[in-house]
Structure 1
Amino acid sequence: MQTYSLEQMLGLIKRGEAFSGQLESSGCFIKIEEYLPVVCTAIHAGHTLRNELIKLGQLSAEERYFEEDPYTDEVIASQPITLVGTDSRFEYDLNRPKSLSTYYKSAWLKQVWRKPLSAKQRAISQAKHNDFYLLYEALISKLESLFGMVIVFDLHSYNYKRIDKPVPVFNIGTAQIDMERWAPVVKKFQSELNQITLPNIEVDAKINAIFEGRGYLIAHTNAHFDRTLVLPTEIKKVFMDELTGEVYPIVLDDLKLGLKNAFSATSAYFQRKLNRRSKTRSADMLSSAIEPAVLDIDAALFRLAQKVDTLKYVNPTNLVAERKRFFSAPSRYKPNFRYRQLPIDANEFKYKLYRLPIDNISDPALKQMYSDIVNKLGEQVDLLTSVGQEGFVYNSLRYHGRPDTHAINNAKFLLYAKEIAEVAGEQYDAKTATELMKRQAEQWDMQCKVSLSSSIVARAMVSSMPPQLTVNSHATFAHAEVQRLIQHELGVHMATTLNAKQQPLKVLRLGLPGATYTQEGLAILAELKAGFMAHSRLNTLACRVLAVESMLKEQDFYLTHNYLVDEVGMEPDDAFVTTARVYRGGGFTKDHLYLSGFLQMLQLSSSRSLTNLLVGKTSVQYLDLLDELVQRNWLIAPKFNVTPTANLEENPSLNYLIESLRS
C-alpha cells in the first residue's frame, strides 16, 4: 500500500490528481479514483492501536472489535472517493471533537485504560485526529470548488442485541441536518435504503429511530462548509454475529450491492436537484476508471479459460459416417459418436480457477459476475470432461437446465397450430449460400472468414478464434433461410464476437453465465425483426425443445428420432440432425434454450433497449450492469449493431401466433 505525507496528499488533491494510499501521520486511508461530488466515509472501521496503548489497555482485542465498525470500509469500497479510519476509535474518536477524542475512560461500563493517558500520549493521538480533518477539509474544499454542492455518506454500524426494542436495519440521523434545505435528499436516500433486499432479513430504513446523527464529522462539516450535506447513517450489524465477530458473507455481499445502488442513485438525484445537472445518471456518480483488480483477474481468467470451447469438443467428429450407418438400419443401430480429445487437466484447471482472488474486486456487482463466471466455468469443465460418458447428461442439466412445463407447452402449441405458409423463394446450394453470407459480411465491414465444412451438426455456426462463420456443405437453403442465417449468425453471433474483441474486459469473449439463452434469443429475435421469421422456423425450435425432453425420458437415439418423424412430423433427415444435436456428447440439453430465450428477448425488447447485450457474449441477467459499465466507459458501446430496431414482420397470423406464446 502506498504511503503519503499529509503535504503530499494535500498537493495531489489541490492538483486534482487521482490516488489512493495511507496517510503516514494518521490512521487514515483515502482513495480518489475520480473527482466527483460524492464522498463516503467509514471513520470507525479501524482496529489498530499503538503498541504503548495496547499495553495500557484494559479491553481485549475482541472487546474493542465489538464496539468498532468492522466491514464498513468494505461496504463503501465501490465508491469513487472513500475516507477510512484505520486506527481504533479507542485511540482517538474521529466522531468527537479533538479535545474529547482521547477521553474514553469507560466504554459501556467497561474500564478502557489501566491508568489515564499522559498528555504526550493524548497529543500524539490528537495530532492524528487533526491531520485527518485537515485532509478532509482539503478534499471537501476541492470538490465544492469543482462542483458546487457535495454529498457525504458517513457510514457506521451498531450492535442491536442489547437493545430491547425493534430497531431498523438502517438509521439516518438528522439532528444536525437543515431539513428545510436538505429534506428531499434525505427522503430519497431513505427510499433507496428501503429498496435494498437482504437474505432472510426484513429491511427498513428509519430517521432518528435509534441514533440522531450528533457526531463530530457532520458538526465539523457544518462549521466549515455551507454547500456540503452529510448523511450520518448507521447499519444494524445484521451482516455479522456482533458477539463473536463472525461475518455472514452472503448478507455482506448483498449489503454492498444494495448500498452501492443507494449511494449512486441518491448522489445522482442530489446532482439533478441541487447542482442543476439534469441529465445525471446513477452510473455518472461512479468511477470511469476500471479497477486494477478487475483487469488483473479478467486477464488471468481469460488466459486460463480461452481454450474451453464446449461445441468444439461436443460436436462428433464422425457425424457423416454415423448418419449413413443409422439410415442403413435405423431401428437396430445406435450411433457411436466420437469426439476430439480434451487438452485440459480438470483438477489443475479448477485449482487455478478457484484460486483467482475474486474478493479483491471492490465493486459488488462485478465481484458477483466474476464469481458466477468462475462457478460456471467449473461446471463447464465437468461437462467437457464427461463427454461421451454416462455422467454427461447430468452435467448438461447442471449447465443448461431442462425444458420446463411452459417451454414444452409452447412447443406443442406451435406444432399443433395450423401451418402458416411461407414463400421460401429461390433455392441455393451450400456454396451459393456461403457466397451470399460472405458478401453481407463484407458490406457490414466484418473482418471474418466464411467457409464450408462437412463436419458440423448445425446448418451454420460461428466460432470465435479466429472469427469464422462455417456453413454445412451438405445442406441446401431457401432464400428466406439464408436471410435468417445472415441475421442470426452474422447479425448477432459474429457481431458479438467482434464487439467482444474490442472490450477491455476479456471475459466477454468467453461468455457470461446464461450467454447461450440470451445470445440465441437475440439471434432469433433478429430474424423476426428483419422480417424473415416463419412458422416453420419456430417449429424447428419447438422440435428441439421436444427432442430434449424425449432424450431425457427415452435415452434412446432411435426412439427420439422415431418420435420426431412419426408424432411431430419431421422429415427423416431433419429429424436425424435434431436428434444428433440433443444426443451429442451423451445428452446435450442446450437446444431447449432457443425458444424460451427468444420469447424473453421479445418481451423485454418492448420495454427497454437490448443494445448493450451486443457488447460481447453477454447474458440478460447482467443487463443492468452492462448498461452501467457502458455508461461508465468500462465497456465500449457495440460497434457492430446491425439488427433492425423495429419489427418488420408483416404477417398478422404469424405475429398472433408468437404473441400467444408464454414467456
Structure 2
Amino acid sequence: MTSPHRKQPQAASRHPQWLEDILDCIRTDKSVRKDFDNGGRLHIDRPLPFLSVHIAKGREDLAARDIAAANASYLIVEDISEALPIILAVGGVLRDRFGAFLLLDIDEFDHDTLITDDAPYLPPFEIGIAATGDPAAQKAGSALAEGADVGEVKFRTPHVNRFDLEADAQAAALAAQTCFPLVAVRFAPIYQAPESGNIYPDLRERLVANIFDAGLKAFAAFVGVTQSLKLTTHRALGRKAFVDAVSRADRSMDEVASSFDFLLAVTPINTDAAWKAFKAAKFKQEPQFLYRPLSVQVEAEKRKLFSVAFDRFEDPVLYHLYREKQQELDLQLSLISARETSRFVEYGRALYGPVELPLHRAATDILVKTASFADDGDDVEDDPQTADCEEVAGAARAMIGDYHRQYPDFAAEIELRDDLPSGLMVSGERLLISRQTLMPKARVHALLSHEIGVHLLTYFNGSAQGLRLFRSGLAGYEGMQEGLAVFSEYMAGGMTVGRLRLIAARVVACAAMLEGRPFTGTYAMLVDEHRFGPVAAFHLAMRIYRGGGLAKDAIYLRGLLELLGHLKTGGALDPFWMGKISASHFRVMQELSLRGLLKAPVIRPAFLTHPQAQARLDKARAGLNPLDMIIS
C-alpha cells in the first residue's frame, strides 16, 4: 500500500545473481540468510509482509541492531545506498505476494536527553515514532507507540513522542526512495553510561525485549488493516526457526548439564546401614550418611558453562531462557561442590526457595485433618499386598513398552540399583529402582504414572523439540514438574491418605531443617507430632537432610498447589507435556508454539485415558483442594 500521490519506482529488470537467488528463495518459501561486509545481513525466516531495517553507519554494539535482528525478517547494512536495492527487490516480491509490505526502520538517538528534571527517581527516556501517511502505516505506528509505552524499563519510564517523518533524514529517504509504507522508531540509548559509554547489560536486555515486542504489535496492526495474513496474536509473527548460534549454545549447555547427576550426587549410598546405626543409638545420634565421590570437576564445568556465547541468538525469548538455565546450572554446581558443608543449605535455599507461610499452613492443615487416618507406614514389609523391586520393574517395563509402541523414540532404560534408598527416581532417560523397594501393590501404577508418565514422558517429548534444553529442563522447572507428577497419581486413581500425608510432611520437615533444627529434632517431630513410624520418619528426614540439608522436597506440594490454581483459572495441561517447563514459562511456551518453534507433544500421558480421568480433571478445573484428591 502506498500514498496515491507518489509514483511507484520501477525496480531494475536485472539484479546481481546473489539477489536473484534470494528472490527465488522467497518465491519458493525458503529461508534466506545472506551475510554482507561489515557485519551486515539479510535474514528472512519465512516470507512475511514486512522487513525490519537497521542502518549501522559504522556504529557497533547498538541495541537497535539487536532489536532489528530479533525479527523473523530483517536487513542490517552499513549505509542506505546498500539498503535501497535490496529493499526494493525484496519488498517488491513480498508486496506482490501479500498485497502489502511494511518497512520498520529502527535506530537510536545519539544521546540520552534529559526530558524533565522533576521525576521522582530517574527521568523518563524518549522514544520517537514516525510513519508515512498510509492508513496501515499510521495504524502500525500507533500500535508501536502504544506497545512501547507499557511501563518502566528498570526504573526509566518511556516517554513516547510522534515526530514528523521529514525530520529524520534516514527515514525520509527510505520512505521517498522505496515508496513503501514505513514506520520509524528512535529511542534514547539508556543502556549506556553517559560518560564512559559502558553498557548496563540487564537494562539493555529489557529495552531490546520491550521495543522488539512493540515492533511485533506494529506488524500485527499493519497485517490487520491490510488483511495480508490471518493472525491470532502478534507473537505468531516471531521466528519459526532458530539460528546456528542457538544450536551450538544448546549443545554446549547440555554437555554441562549432562556432566553430573544432581540427585545422585546428593543421595546417600548407605541409607540402610545409617538407619540401623540410628536405631541402635535409640534415635538420639545424628546419622552419618555416605555419598558417591563426585565424578565432575566443578570448576572446569563452570568455565565451560560461562564460555557459552548467547550474543548471536537474535531471539530475546531464547536468550532469556538460556541465561536463566546458565544461572541455575551454576547454582547446582555450587551446591554439589558444597556437599556436607554449612554452605549446602544456603545454596539449596537459593535454588528451591524458602518454605512460604501459606505453603506451611497448607501442609499443616493436611496433616491435622488426616491425623485420625495416620498410618505409621512401617508395616509394608509384612503386607501380603506388597510389591518388591522386581515386581515394580516388571510393571515399569510394561508401561514403558506401551509408550514405546506409540512413539518408538520413547526408549527408556530401567536400572535396579543397590546404592539407592527404597524408591524410584528418574535420571535422564533412565528409571532407577532401588533393590530395597517395597510398596503397596495398589500404589505401583500411580507411582509409575508419576515417574514414567510425567518425568520420562516430558524428557522424550522435550527431546523431540530440537533443542536439548526442553528435555534437561528450563530453569525452575522442577516445582511444576513434581506438581504434575503428584497430580498424575490422583489422575491414575492412586492418591492415598498416606501419600498425601507424606507430601505434606516433607514441607513441615523442610521448614524445620531451614530453621536450623537438627535431624534428630525433625525425626522426633515426625514421630511424636505427626504419628509417622520410625522407618518412615527416618527416610523422610533423610531426604530433607541429605547432602547437608536440601530444600527440594517442599516443591511437591508447592507445585501441586500451583498446578491446581492454574487449572482452576482455566489453564491448559497440554503445554506442560511439551518438555520440562515451569509455570512461569507457560506464556513463553505458548509463544514459541505459536511461532512454530515448538511442536505439540508427540505423546500424551496414559493416565489421561483412565476411565475416571476426565471427571477428575473436571473436578480440578472446578476447584480442588489436595484433601479432595484422596481416593478412598
- Taking structure 2 as the reference length, what is the TM-score of the superposition? 0.84
Closer/same/farther in 2, CA of residues 330 and 632 from structure 1, 3 Å limit: farther
Quote how far apart the aligned CAs of 1:567 are: 0.8
Closer/same/farther in 2, CA of residues 351 and 452 from structure 1, 3 Å limit: closer
Alignment check: 8 A CA contact 2:374 2:531 kept: no
Quote how far apart the aligned CAs of 1:189 are: 2.3
Q: 1:635 aligns with which of 568, 573, 598?
A: 598
Q: Deviations along 1:164-183, whole A, 9 cap, x unmatched?
A: 78876322224x3234x544
Deviates more, 1:192-201 or 1:350-359: 192-201
Superposed, which structure 2 residues align to 1:132-531 within 5 Å?
Answer: 132-158=83-109, 159-161=111-113, 169-174=126-131, 176-179=132-135, 181-195=136-150, 197-208=152-163, 212=165, 214-215=167-168, 219=172, 228-275=180-227, 277-418=229-370, 427-430=385-388, 431-445=390-404, 446-450=410-414, 452-457=416-421, 459-464=423-428, 466-470=429-433, 473-479=436-442, 481-531=443-493
Cross-structure match for 1:114:
none
Q: Deviations along 1:299-333, whole A, 9 cap, x unmatched?
A: 12222331221111111111111112212223333
1:648 equivalenced with 2:616 (yes/no): yes
Quote how far apart the aligned CAs of 1:375 are: 1.6
Quote how far apart the aligned CAs of 1:225 are: 6.4
Q: Which amino acid aligns with 1:13?
A: I
Unaligned runs of 5+ in 1: 49-64, 88-93, 95-128
1:578 equivalenced with 2:540 (yes/no): yes
Structure 2: distance between partners of 1:577 and 1:622? 33
Structure 2: distance between partners of 1:538 and 1:146? 59
Quote how far apart the aligned CAs of 1:544 are: 0.2
Closer/same/farther in 2, CA of residues 469 and 420 from structure 1, 3 Å limit: farther
Q: 1:618 aligns with which of 567, 573, 581?
A: 581
Quote how far apart the aligned CAs of 1:485 are: 1.0
Cross-structure match for 1:80:
72
Quote how far apart the aligned CAs of 1:522 are: 1.4
Closer/same/farther in 2, CA of residues 649 and 236 from structure 1, 3 Å limit: closer
Alignment check: 8 A CA contact 1:268 1:284 kept: no
- CA RMSD in angstroms comes to 3.3
3-state SS of the aligned residue for 2:425? strand
Closer/same/farther in 2, CA of residues 651 and 373 from structure 1, 3 Å limit: closer
Unaligned runs of 5+ in 2: 1-13, 118-122, 405-409
Structure 2: distance between partners of 1:499 and 1:224? 49
Alignment check: 8 A CA contact 2:125 2:157 kept: no
Quote how far apart the aligned CAs of 1:574 are: 1.3
Quote how far apart the aligned CAs of 1:580 are: 0.5
1:11 equivalenced with 2:20 (yes/no): yes
Q: Which amino acid aligns with 2:578?
A: V
Structure 1: distance between partners of 2:242 and 2:324? 19
Alignment check: 8 A CA contact 2:84 2:177 kept: no
Closer/same/farther in 2, CA of residues 168 and 229 from structure 1, 3 Å limit: farther
Quote how far apart the aligned CAs of 1:439 are: 2.3
Alignment check: 8 A CA contact 1:155 1:233 kept: yes
Closer/same/farther in 2, CA of residues 22 and 441 from structure 1, 3 Å limit: closer
3-state SS of the aligned residue for 1:462? strand
Q: Which amino acid aligns with 1:194?
A: D
Q: 1:34 aligns with which of 25, 35, 46?
A: 46
Q: Which amino acid aligns with 1:439?
A: A
3-state SS of the aligned residue for 1:173? strand
Structure 2: distance between partners of 1:544 and 1:317? 21
Structure 2: distance between partners of 1:650 and 1:633? 30
Alignment check: 8 A CA contact 1:544 1:591 kept: yes
Q: Deviations along 1:215-241, whole A, 9 cap, x unmatched?
A: 456555655767x43111121222223
Q: Deviations along 1:569-588, whole A, 9 cap, x unmatched?
A: 21222111110101111111
Alignment check: 8 A CA contact 1:544 1:578 kept: yes
Q: Give aligned-pair identity as a percent.
A: 23
Cross-structure match for 2:571:
608
